[in-house]
Structure 1
Amino acid sequence: MVLVGDVFDVPIKKHIIHCDGNLQNNNRILCSSSCLQGTHSTKTISEVSGTGRKPYQQKGTGRARHGKLRGPQFRVGAAMHGPEPQSRCNKKVWRLGLKIALTAQTAKGKLLVFEDLEVPTHKTKNIVNYVNQMENTKKLLVNGCPINEKLKLAGLNVHSILLHDTLVMSRDAVNRIVERMHAPINR
């Protein structure tokens, strides 16, 4: 099969892979915890509402020197070095990371494309035998046929491509990936 050059043959940029891989790893860790969703945040001194007026004079009161009531030492003040929302990867960088991961697998010769990935039965034993006949490495199977919603949500990402030794795809899956990479980005 002739692979499309702008998807399977792009310059490899390690910092993009590093960025995408770290974000996906962080998201995986955050989503496994029920209380942390990566959206928790605290207000810094510039975000807290309140006056910038000096609360009392500098000398003569017997109290500590303070410039404003928004400081972290006050009850209504800011939180210093508090949690911030997790950074997100924009869609262009995410697409580029996926293209680079596919290029890396193709360059190493670890991309196997089959006409179809049909197995004779749905039994796990038969599927395991079918996969073990290909090679004795960790494989990621990507099939392009219509699938249910739970499998669709799992998706294909940079972390899973680079985690496995061999990427096994059907011809339909390759065509769908190329189609998705060429589709305009919805903003």
Structure 2
Amino acid sequence: MVNCVVKNWQGEQSGETTLEMPVAKEENAEHIVHRALVRQLHNQRQGTASTKTRAEVRGGGRKPWRQKGTGRARAGSIRSPLWRGGGVIFGPKPKDYNLKMNRKERRLALRTAFISRVEDLIVVENFLDQLTAPKTKEVVNALTRWGIEPEQKVLLIVTDTTPDNLYLSVRNLPNVKLLRHDCLNIYDILYADKIVATSEAITKIQEVYCGE
């Protein structure tokens, strides 16, 4: 169980919240998080790279010149891999890179990764009512008040992105990634320098990812 300080829109301490999530054993934590990360990166690959073999390249059915008497090397097709425009030897073909991982393992890995970033976690009050209109500058100033440097990569976790004021306010910030509480993933949790989550999002995360 971890106690987290809750900050308001002005960056002042306004209360505390509790974060309690079952995680992997210390000796297995790194391994299961690594497996989940590799799975996510592999499953993002399309695997559509493809080249043509000499059997698939168009043309080349006729022998380019006779076997003997020309002084040139023997050739049976202009689509040989040795020729320009010919087929490709051992080139890539469409492949499925997907890796499987049990649902319980995936959730355990995500909880373990999230708890491992608790030192970089900033919990704030719900601030959607503070954004009456899309305003990137207001979000930048709020991040500064919460103790985040401009060059740091931020994962912003909320329970709801509607109305679109928050989304429109952060979409032009290259270092800010906005996610709903039920769309968390290993890569974004580990990639961010700081994680900002509303207190409602923390409660929902524990409800969604702690149940089996």
Shorter-chain TM range is: 0.5 to 0.7
Q: Residue 141 of structure 1: CA displacement?
A: 0.4
Please give the secondary structure, in 2, of the residue aligned with 1:88.
coil
Deviation sequence 1:88-121 (CA, Å, 0-9, x none)? 2221111011111111011xx1111112133433
Q: Aligned equivalents of 1:112 and 1:153: distance in 2? A: 15
Superposition RMSD in Å? 3.1
Q: Residue 174 of structure 1: CA displacement?
A: 0.8
Q: Report the counterpart of residue 113 of structure 1 in structure 2.
A: 123
Q: Aligned equivalents of 1:111 and 1:146: distance in 2? A: 20
Please give the secondary structure, in 2, of the residue aligned with 1:22.
helix
Q: Aligned equivalents of 2:181 and 2:120: distance in 1? A: 25
**Residues 164 and 22 from structure 1, CA distance in 2 versus in 1: closer, same or farther, beyond 3 angstroms?**
same
Q: Aligned equivalents of 2:19 and 2:24: distance in 1? A: 12
**Residues 182 and 18 from structure 1, CA distance in 2 versus in 1: closer, same or farther, beyond 3 angstroms?**
closer
Does residue 119 of structure 2 align to residue 104 of structure 1?
A: no
Which of 177, 180, 183 aligns to 2:205? It is: 177
**Residues 85 and 158 from structure 1, CA distance in 2 versus in 1: closer, same or farther, beyond 3 angstroms?**
closer
Comparing both structures, which one devotes a greater share of its residues to helix? 1
Instruction: Report the AA paired with residue 191 of structure 2.
Output: L
Q: Is the 8 A contact 2:124 2:198 kept in 1?
A: yes
Which of 139, 159, 165 aligns to 1:127? It is: 139
Q: Aligned equivalents of 1:177 and 1:154: distance in 2? A: 7
- Residue-pair matches, total: 132
Q: Residue 153 of structure 1: CA displacement?
A: 10
Comparing both structures, which one devotes a greater share of its residues to strand? 2
Q: Report the counterpart of residue 196 of structure 2 in structure 1.
A: 168
Q: Is the 8 A contact 1:11 1:100 kept in 2?
A: no
Structure 1: where are the runs of 5+ without partners?
37-81
Q: Is the 8 A contact 1:143 1:170 kept in 2?
A: yes
What TM-score do you get using the length of structure 2 for normalisation? Answer: 0.53
Q: Report the counterpart of residue 159 of structure 2 in structure 1.
A: 144
Q: Is the 8 A contact 1:21 1:158 kept in 2?
A: yes
Q: Report the counterpart of residue 55 of structure 1 in structure 2.
A: none
Which of 18, 31, 41 aligns to 1:25? It is: 41
Q: Is the 8 A contact 1:145 1:172 kept in 2?
A: no
Q: Report the counterpart of residue 75 of structure 2 in structure 1.
A: none
Q: Report the counterpart of residue 168 of structure 2 in structure 1.
A: none
Instruction: Report the AA paired with residue 153 of structure 2.
Output: K
Which of 15, 19, 38 aligns to 1:3? It is: 19
Could you say which structure has the larger radius of gyration?
2
Structure 2: where are the runs of 5+ without partners?
1-16, 50-93, 164-178
Instruction: Report the AA paired with residue 122 of structure 1.
Output: P
Alignment of 1:50-61 (within 5 A): none
Deviation sequence 1:46-72 (CA, Å, 0-9, x none)? xxxxxxxxxxxxxxxxxxxxxxxxxxx
Identity, in percent, stands at 25
Deviation sequence 1:124-167 (CA, Å, 0-9, x none)? 2322332233211221000013659xx65992111100000111
